[in-house]
Amino acid sequence: MPPFFHLNSTVGSARILKSGANLVNHDFTGEQILKILRRLYKPSPFKAGCLVSLAAVLLYYFAVTGGGSKEFKNIINTLDWRISDSMFRIRGEQKEKLTGNVVIVVVDEQSLEKPEADGLGQWPWPRTYMASILRNISSDGAKVIGLDFVYSEEDRTSPEKFIPFLKKSLSSELLSSVVEKIEGREDIDNDRIFADALEETPTILGYFFEKEEDNLKSGDEHARISTEYSILIGNYKQEYRRFLRILEKGYRPELNLELFRDSCLSSGFFNPTPDIDGIVRRVPLLMRFAPEAQKSASMVDGVDLYEKYRDGVVYPSLSLEMLREGLDVPPEKMEIAFTPHGIYGLFLDNRFVLTDPVCRVMVNYRGGPNTFPYISATKVLRGEFEKGFFKDKYVLIGPTAAGLFDVRSTPFSQIFPGVEVHANLIDNVIKGDYFKYDVQKEAIFVMGLTLVGGILLSLVLAKGGPMFGGLTGILFISGIMVGNYYFFFLRNQYVGTVFPLLTYIVVFITVTMFNYLTEGRQRKFIHGAFGRYVSPDVVNELMRSPEKLSLGGEKRVLTVFFSDIRGFTSISEKMDAAEMSNFLNEYLTAMSDIVMETGGMVDKFIGDAVVAIWGAPLDDDEHAVHAAESALLMMDKLRELQIEWNARGLPEINIGIGINTGAVSVGNMGSRNRFDYTVIGDNVNLASRLEGINKAYGTNIIISESTREAIGSGFTSQPIDLVRVKGKQKPVMIHELLCKGEPSPELRRRVEAFCKARTLFLDRKFDEAGKIMEELDKECPRVLYKEYLDRVRFYRNNPPRDDWDGVFTFTTK
């Protein structure tokens, strides 16, 4: 909103509205309070359904999103996961969606056969075998290689290990000298050969964390895990550290030998994280490891490890490190993304990966086992593959043989190679079609769907009967199933739907039983008795609250509207009765149609005047906005009608409109035999006064300060005056409503100039104010400008008193 629309915050107006509480005068009698309480606590089918829906939302918020009940949360999540698993199986394999960038070298059953059976023998193999495999893959142009193994012990088959034994056992001096010559040679040290292969190839080593704390000391494990590619929690701002501390926590790591860690490109953990039912659906990209408050006495390179790592260190997974290296993302370009509520995802340079709050990605499995290209480690060792097979590929090396126990459960299969889980994730991120699991948005969606759907279902069941309500319930459930299909199949997005479905079932049962026990006889009576002579909106309100059929009413904050034709008496003298009746009916019909189109209620017609209200009998949170829209539409419609009336020789008319927002008494007013649904109160009288003082300023639409505040920034208005209307002691700031939205440049300039002149006027700078008003009046003559010019001339000759506050008092209506 441009600044000049707020220039009405003058000294005078500031004295009027000390707080928003002045708008509402809560002066309830004891009887009215009892009526409100009875209406509030009177049970009904709709209220029962709404209560169930609200209770369900609160249950979800505190028990599921707030972590209040782990058991309940696990039940809901497990049911949702089962639906998700079923959707995977319904969809089936999607080999056609593979990027073709991921290949798996498998240590399979054939590879573990005896050499004479074309295998390489039992596991673990001599590390020279794996060195040759790495070199063969790398020389074929692989982009990055990931090892789904841990080499935490030295190779016991290394020839170097037999030297001490040979030196003790051999008695021949000749043989002893031969042993001494080969002792210390690197080409007989399998671990050294393997380390050289790691150094020559783009290989990421895998390791794993223990998921439960044991009795072994963590000690200086941080010194043993390379921190070159890790993230220190202490490097992040204080407000983000608490989010990092909720990452999955790893305990004592099972690491590769230091020789291998120093030789490889990088390292990453390959811990699986199955859900409560044992199925791996989400894979962590990061895990946290910290020495759990046990202060290490050791110093490494002069650094106190405990002090350095006391906040914890975040480590990347094998899949993440392979992606980072394959996408050529430097470590400093990998950042954790946060929202005010927690971790939101990871940035790999310009590529964003959405995660859940503990930095897990939901895997979009392409199918069951063997969906990705497999090649036996035996064939790779012997070079039995086509040239270019590994070129620019992400190559994972891992076991699939049952005896090596790297088997997971997935939505597609209970027996699924762990290495292929990594392959699915890498392929997902490369293609960007991993399952998006936004926990925050899901919670908002589920609670919104539960509340809105439950309320709508309650409304339909309460008003439409069990048959229509049952059909609507089926429609709701079908809609959720279609929505689930849409999110799962078309958007690769996981959304839980079990909780809303369960809520709808409970709502259906509750409202149906309530309807059955409490017939709608009262509603039928009201509709038959009053439907013929009050508006449908009033009938509906009365059916919801029959107690309103009394002489009393209720206090509400709403917007009151008065309009009147200027000089109608002189106009009517020029017409006969029939012409006047037709003319007035045409005008009032057009104006009342606009009132109802904008959600208002025509309270009454007083001759040529229209009285309308917004915000009753039906609640309307934007009653002031709709009243303002109605006023502007009336002026537009009047201009259209004027063209038609001129063509028919009818006189031109002008109208004044007054609008005020505030607390009024609304309800059925009158005698026991005859009454009207209407409004009374000081704020109603003020709206009438505002309509009348349009004549003094030559304006068409005047609104009060409370209305201007209520309509917000969507309209253009300008402050006119601080006035004391007849019958009221407190002054009121009044504004001229000009248009909806932004004004034209010319109108903006005039409004700014007028506001400036009025501010100068209130500051007693009458000469400067008068000069601007004269320029405005010369450019666009208006009664408003002339009124202020008259006041300027008066105060030049009769300076106001020291306590003058700029208030103008009207002595007539």
Exposure string of 346-355, with b = 16+ CB inside 10 Å and e = fewer, is bebeeeebbb
Q: What is the pLDDT of residue 20?
A: 37
Cβ-contact 395, 137 below 8 angstroms: yes
In a 13 Å sphere around the CA of 334, the CA atoms on its Cβ side amount to: 21
| 718: β partners | 736
Each residue's pLDDT tens digit, 122-132: 888 889 999 99
| Residue 183 amino acid letter | E
Orientation angle between helical segments 70-91 and 439-485, nearest 10 degrees: 40
Indicate the burial class of 549 (C-beta count within 10 angstroms; 0-12, 13-18, 19 or more): middle
Residue 38 has pLDDT above 70, yes or no: no
Residue 677 has pLDDT above 80, yes or no: no
Q: How many CB atoms lie within 10 A of CB 237?
A: 7
Indicate the burial class of 545 (C-beta count within 10 angstroms; 0-12, 13-18, 19 or more): middle
Q: What is the pLDDT of residue 629?
A: 96
| 558: β partners | 662
Cβ-contact 103, 322 below 8 angstroms: no
Q: What is the pLDDT of residue 258?
A: 87
Residue 669 has pLDDT above 70, yes or no: yes
Where residue 775 falls among pLDDT bands split at 50, 70, 90?
A: very high
Averaged pLDDT, 685-712: 94
Q: How many CB atoms lie within 10 A of CB 519?
A: 9
Q: What is the pLDDT of residue 11?
A: 31
Each residue's pLDDT tens digit, 641-653: 999 999 988 888 9
pTM as predicted: 0.57
Q: What is the pLDDT of residue 778?
A: 93
Cβ-contact 321, 282 below 8 angstroms: no
Residue 470 has pLDDT above 70, yes or no: yes
- Distance, CA of 597 to CA of 629 (rounded, Å): 10
Q: What is the pLDDT of residue 442?
A: 82
How long is the chain? 813
Cβ-contact 611, 561 below 8 angstroms: yes
Please give the DSSP secondary-structure letter assigned to residue 395: E
Structure tokens at 478: 């079908």
Mean pLDDT, all residues of the chain = 81
Least confident of 60-74, 312-326, 328-342, 519-533: 519-533
Averaged pLDDT, 414-419: 91
Averaged pLDDT, 2-23: 34
- Distance, CA of 289 to CA of 293 (rounded, Å): 12
Q: How many CB atoms lie within 10 A of CB 22?
A: 13
Strand positions, DSSP E, 684-765 = 701-704, 715-724, 732-740
Each residue's pLDDT tens digit, 61-87: 888 776 666 788 888 888 888 988 888
Residue 754 has pLDDT above 60, yes or no: yes
Strand positions, DSSP E, 109-222 = 144-147, 203-209
Q: What is the pLDDT of residue 231?
A: 59
CA angle 204, 209, 215 (to 5 degrees): 145
3-state secondary structure of 433: coil
- What CA–CA distances, in Å, run from 256 to 126, 224, 267, 639? 16, 9, 9, 86
- Distance, CA of 72 to CA of 63 (rounded, Å): 7
Rg (alpha carbons) of the chain, rounded to whole number: 40
Please give the DSSP secondary-structure letter assigned to residue 737: E
Q: What is the pLDDT of residue 120?
A: 83
Q: What is the pLDDT of residue 767?
A: 92
- What CA–CA distances, in Å, run from 35 to 39, 163, 550? 6, 100, 11
- Distance, CA of 69 to CA of 501 (rounded, Å): 20
Each residue's pLDDT tens digit, 358-403: 889 999 999 999 999 999 999 999 999 999 999 999 999 999 887 7
Where residue 459 falls among pLDDT bands split at 50, 70, 90?
A: confident
Unique residue bearing structure tokens 């290990």: 161
- Distance, CA of 516 to CA of 509 (rounded, Å): 11
Higher-pLDDT residue of 406 and 132 is 132
- Distance, CA of 381 to CA of 34 (rounded, Å): 88
Q: Which helix (H) or strand (E) holds 57?
A: helix 45-59
Give the list of residues 6+ apart from residue 754 with CB closer than 8 angstroms, or none.
Answer: 718, 772, 773, 776, 784, 785
Indicate the burial class of 345 (C-beta count within 10 angstroms; 0-12, 13-18, 19 or more): buried
Where residue 531 falls among pLDDT bands split at 50, 70, 90?
A: very low
Unique residue bearing structure tokens 């150094």: 199
Averaged pLDDT, 138-161: 87
Nearest to 513 by CA among 57, 41, 49, 40: 49
Nearest to 202 by CA among 265, 118, 128, 160: 265
Structure tokens at 808: 């103008």
Q: What is the pLDDT of residue 650?
A: 87
Q: Is the peptide bond before 617 cis (omega within 30 degrees of 0)?
A: yes
- Distance, CA of 276 to CA of 71 (rounded, Å): 10
Cβ-contact 648, 593 below 8 angstroms: no
Please give the DSSP secondary-structure letter assigned to residue 125: P
**Helices and strands, number each (H, E), in the chain:** 29, 28
Where residue 663 falls among pLDDT bands split at 50, 70, 90?
A: very high
- Distance, CA of 255 to CA of 151 (rounded, Å): 7
- Distance, CA of 361 to CA of 492 (rounded, Å): 12
Residue 26 has pLDDT above 80, yes or no: no
Q: What is the pLDDT of residue 132?
A: 93
Nearest to 632 by CA among 742, 737, 557: 737
Unique residue bearing structure tokens 């769907």: 449
Residue 421 has pLDDT above 80, yes or no: yes
Compute the CA torsion angle 465, 468, 470, 472 (nearest 10 deg): -130
- Distance, CA of 146 to CA of 395 (rounded, Å): 6
| 555: β partners | 665
Cβ-contact 232, 311 below 8 angstroms: yes
C-alpha 249, offset from chain centre: 28
Residue 6 has pLDDT above 50, yes or no: no
Orientation angle between helical segments 577-597 and 623-647, nearest 10 degrees: 150
Q: What is the pLDDT of residue 694?
A: 93
- Distance, CA of 414 to CA of 406 (rounded, Å): 12
Q: How many CB atoms lie within 10 A of CB 652?
A: 9
658 phi and psi, to 5 degrees?
-120, 135
Where residue 428 falls among pLDDT bands split at 50, 70, 90?
A: very high
Averaged pLDDT, 423-436: 92
306 phi and psi, to 5 degrees?
-65, -45
Q: How many CB atoms lie within 10 A of CB 333?
A: 14
Exposure string of 701-729, with b = 16+ CB inside 10 Å and e = fewer, is bbbbbbbbbbbeeebbbbbbbbbebeeee
Residue 601 has pLDDT above 80, yes or no: yes
